[in-house]
């Protein structure tokens, strides 16, 4: 599974410190030479299939052995533990980190830059991918995957209705009305008030930058015009009853996806790995298409999900740890193993055309060019310039405030304003110098 969809815990926001309000300035980048003898690296990762990747590395690198363990919890449960254990010096050498959580771990001095060990990555990864791991000129991981947002739809039902995949959000709204008019119990898709990363990706596509940083000053613009446009668009569809209010991952949503009540899903590259557990009876019926655009012909998309591996400040072998991370996420061999065993779509540009990607995911067996579409979408990804140091507080506010807006049938723009206020208030409470836009 290439993303986590559990609600984040606000605890991390309480742990984030702002002794130095900038992000990257908090971590040491002092040189640490490679060890002279055999070393063993502790690696924490929750992805199924990762053991096969580690086994191959260990086979080829007898002097740098990696010991893999799964954390007791994923996402922010793990990150909170990393922050707590950092002072005690008990963290692993390498840890899995979702992109949005990196600034918090940097700010708390949990992870260190790896530039001196991995070299210049600019020729191997897109600017959008590197933006997820680079802060103030320092690199804190090698991007593992990229998860462009795309539109999945039931082609059999679309064909019956005489519809094609919408290419613009205006067409999506028109098709939503046509679907619902034909069958009032059927919807083109849903709005998910539990998936802050989903909404963030849609805001990225529209041109939003929820956080920017300059020196020791942060600017927060979660309720900017671009994000307000996205919120208003979905508010309109919800008010007209043209999309389902059932959130992703709920039992009812899965039932509706399986029985054809919901016939589309605005999602991301990893969706085919989830569909077997969501809509088990519909294999081969779903097709992926480019995400609808705000302006016809614009191929810009945001991301939903994605992660890297970071070297911790507790590691006594950072050079060896970084060598392992770079091999896994950028070498042909390492990436092939990730594709085959962890269902990764690689951020590494050279590896996006691997033979291992010529076979579509089993659930999309009728779309042989599936990964070609993903590679095209990946070329047009637009992300935030930087994730904030308390993204989890923002994510929690999204889940709480957007769910309340749906229940109260109030405009989503009001929930967006509350997200902005919660984020700014928390950052200022932690000592960050914050401006708003």
Does residue 83 sit in the same domain as residue 174? no
Domain assignment of residue 154, yes or no: yes
Does residue 325 sit in the same domain as residue 251? no
Q: What is the pLDDT of residue 6?
A: 36
Q: What is the pLDDT of residue 437?
A: 87
For residue 173, the surrounding DSSP H or E stretch is: helix 169-182
Domain assignment of residue 381, yes or no: no
Domain assignment of residue 163, yes or no: yes
Does residue 349 sit in the same domain as residue 295? no
Does residue 269 sit in the same domain as residue 347? no
Domain assignment of residue 298, yes or no: yes
CA distances (Å), origin 351, targets 16, 34, 144, 289, 361:
36, 28, 11, 22, 17
Domain assignment of residue 366, yes or no: no
Does residue 284 sit in the same domain as residue 411? yes
Does residue 345 sit in the same domain as residue 232? no
The tally of domains found in the chain comes to 2
Q: Which domain holds residue 16?
A: 11-146+307-357
Distance CA 316, CA 42 (A): 11
Does residue 177 sit in the same domain as residue 311? no
Could you tell me the CATH number of the domain that includes residue 233? 3.40.190.10
Q: What is the pLDDT of residue 31?
A: 52
**Which ranges of the chain have pLDDT less than 50?**
1-30
Torsion sign, CA atoms 263, 267, 270, 273: negative
Residues 164 and 214 sit within 8 Å (Cβ to Cβ):
no
Distance CA 71, CA 44 (A): 6
For 219, counting Cβ atoms within 10 Å of its Cβ (0-12 exposed, 13-18 middle, 19+ buried), the class is middle
Domain assignment of residue 248, yes or no: yes
Q: What is the pLDDT of residue 8?
A: 35
Strand stretches in 242-396, DSSP E? 264-268, 286-290, 307-311
Does residue 417 sit in the same domain as residue 350? no
Contact partners, residue 271, CB within 8 Å, separation at least 6: 150, 152, 265, 288
Domain assignment of residue 4, yes or no: no
Does residue 32 sit in the same domain as residue 132? yes
Strands 433-436 and 138-139 turn out to be unpaired
Does residue 32 sit in the same domain as residue 108? yes
Does residue 70 sit in the same domain as residue 31? yes
Does residue 224 sit in the same domain as residue 324? no
Token readout for 196 is 């802050």
Domain assignment of residue 3, yes or no: no
Domain boundary among 357, 375, 397: 357
Closest by CA to 312, choosing from 147, 78, 126, 131, is: 78
């Amino acid at each position: 599974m290439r993303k986590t969809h559990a609600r984040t815990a606000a605890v991390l926001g309480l742990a984030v410190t702002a002794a130095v309000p900038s992000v990257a300035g908090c971590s040491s980048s002092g040189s640490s030479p490679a060890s002279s003898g055999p070393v063993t690296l502790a690696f924490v990762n929750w992805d199924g299939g990762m053991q096969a990747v580690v086994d191959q590395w260990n086979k080829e690198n007898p002097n740098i052995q990696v010991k893999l363990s799964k954390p007791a919890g994923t996402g922010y449960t793990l990150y909170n533990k990393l922050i707590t254990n950092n002072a005690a010096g008990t963290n692993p050498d390498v840890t899995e980190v979702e992109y949005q959580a990196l600034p918090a771990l940097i700010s708390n001095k949990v992870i260190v830059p790896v530039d001196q060990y991995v070299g210049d990555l600019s020729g191997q990864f897109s600017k959008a991918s590197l933006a997820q791991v680079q802060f103030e000129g320092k690199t804190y991981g090698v991007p593992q995957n990229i998860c462009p947002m795309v539109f999945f739809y039931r082609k059999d039902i679309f064909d019956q209705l005489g519809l094609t995949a919408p290419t613009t959000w205006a067409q999506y709204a028109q098709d939503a009305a046509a679907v619902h008019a034909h069958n009032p119990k059927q919807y083109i898709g849903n709005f998910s008030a539990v998936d802050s990363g989903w909404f963030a990706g849609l805001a990225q596509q529209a041109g939003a930058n929820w956080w920017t940083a300059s020196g020791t000053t942060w600017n927060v613009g979660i309720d900017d015009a671009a994000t307000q446009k996205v919120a208003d668009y979905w508010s309109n569809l919800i008010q007209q009853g043209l999309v389902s209010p059932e959130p992703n991952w709920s039992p009812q949503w899965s039932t509706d996806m399986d029985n054809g009540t919901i016939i589309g899903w605005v999602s991301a590259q990893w969706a085919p790995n989830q569909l077997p557990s969501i809509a088990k009876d519909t294999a081969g019926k779903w097709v992926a298409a480019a995400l609808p655009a705000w302006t016809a012909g614009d191929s810009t998309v945001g991301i939903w999900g994605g992660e890297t591996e970071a070297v911790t400040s507790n590691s006594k072998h950072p050079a060896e740890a970084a060598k392992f991370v770079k091999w896994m996420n950028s070498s042909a061999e390492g990436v092939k193993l990730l594709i085959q065993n962890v269902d990764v779509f690689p951020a590494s540009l050279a590896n996006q055309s691997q033979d291992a990607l010529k076979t579509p995911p089993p659930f999309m067996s009728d779309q042989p060019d599936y990964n070609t579409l993903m590679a095209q979408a990946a070329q047009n990804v637009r992300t935030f310039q930087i994730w904030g140091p308390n993204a989890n507080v923002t994510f929690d506010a999204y889940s709480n405030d957007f769910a309340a807006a749906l229940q109260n049938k109030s405009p989503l723009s009001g929930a967006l304003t509350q997200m902005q206020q919660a984020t700014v208030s928390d950052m200022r409470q932690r000592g960050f110098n914050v401006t708003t836009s």
